[in-house]
């Protein structure tokens, strides 16, 4: 398989390692809750529902761009597999 | 979170929960706004004469009232207001001495699209009731 096709396949599958998964979960939870709180407060002060949903939707779009694609920073801790153990075949 | 699809799934599920909480808090915040705006109703003409309703021939005494309404409703338009429902109520005393206050079946509404200051009102308000009476009072009521 050529290098380009392989990297395209890697990008569409979107695998990230376990440290990356924990990081993605943390980012998404913090950003979504934080942006909801900020959007509510700013919209309430300015008395405009449009402001609330622009803030909330905008940060959600940016979050999707940061979290969904498998960026290399999420693959910085690949799983360290143990070295292969040679088994001696024992006669029965 | 191991693949693209699972990340989309997880993030969208959490987004739905957060959105519902946001909408609930917006709805709850509407209860903080309590206002009591007043308006005035000016009668321009009152005509009383016997005539018949449309498509009937029975003659009844009917009252035709033309009125103007002047009200400042801007305090009612907080951030979560989509439509306003206003009611016009007529109070009268009939021969039995009881002051009855009919709730009109027609109600008219404003949406925030119409500019409150220069709204053009052309709503027909028709209420038929049997009253042998004296004195008819019109009041403008806000939302209940």
Q: What is the pLDDT of residues A22-44, one digit of tens each?
A: 999 999 999 999 999 999 999 99
DSSP H helical ranges for chain A: 3-13, 18-46, 49-67
Span B21-29, mean pLDDT? Answer: 94
Q: Who wins on pLDDT, A6 or B107?
A: A6
Strands B39-52 vs B133-141: parallel, antiparallel or unpaired = unpaired
Q: pLDDT band at A87, cuts 50/70/90?
A: confident
Over chain B, what is the mean pLDDT? 67
Residue B46 has pLDDT above 80, yes or no: no
A52 to B22: CB separation less than 8 angstroms, yes or no: yes
**pLDDT digits over A39-53, tens only?**
999 999 998 899 999
Q: At what angle do helices A18-46 and B4-29 cross, to 10 degrees?
A: 20
The token pair that represents A84 in the structure block:
């292969």
The full length of chain A comes to 92
B22 to A36: CB separation less than 8 angstroms, yes or no: yes
Among A44, A52, A60, select the one facing B15 at the smallest CB separation: A60
**Residue whose C-alpha is closest to residue B23's, from B34, B15, B32:** B15
| pTM across the whole model | 0.67
């Amino acid at each position: 398989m050529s290098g380009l096709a392989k990297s395209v396949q890697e990008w569409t599958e979107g695998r990230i390692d376990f440290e990356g998964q924990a990081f993605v979960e943390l980012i998404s939870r913090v950003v979504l809750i934080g942006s909801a709180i900020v959007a509510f407060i700013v919209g309430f002060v300015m008395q405009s529902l449009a402001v609330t949903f622009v803030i909330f939707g905008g940060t959600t779009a940016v979050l999707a761009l940061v979290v969904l694609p498998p960026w290399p920073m999420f693959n910085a801790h690949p799983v360290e597999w143990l070295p292969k153990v040679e088994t001696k075949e024992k006669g029965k | 979170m191991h693949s693209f699809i699972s990340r989309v799934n997880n993030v969208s599920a959490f987004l739905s929960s957060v959105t519902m909480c946001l909408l609930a808090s917006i709805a709850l915040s509407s209860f903080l706004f309590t206002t009591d705006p007043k308006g005035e109703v000016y009668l321009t003409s009152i005509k009383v004469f016997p005539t018949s309703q449309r498509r009937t021939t029975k003659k009844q005494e009917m009252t035709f009232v033309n009125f103007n309404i002047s009200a400042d409703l801007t305090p009612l338009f907080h951030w979560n207001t989509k439509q306003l429902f206003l009611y016009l109520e007529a109070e009268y005393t009939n021969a039995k001495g009881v002051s009855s206050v009919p709730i009109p079946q027609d109600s008219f509404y404003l949406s925030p699209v119409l500019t409150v200051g220069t709204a053009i009102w052309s709503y027909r308000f028709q209420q038929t009731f049997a009253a042998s009476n004296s004195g008819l009072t019109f009041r403008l009521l806000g939302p209940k």
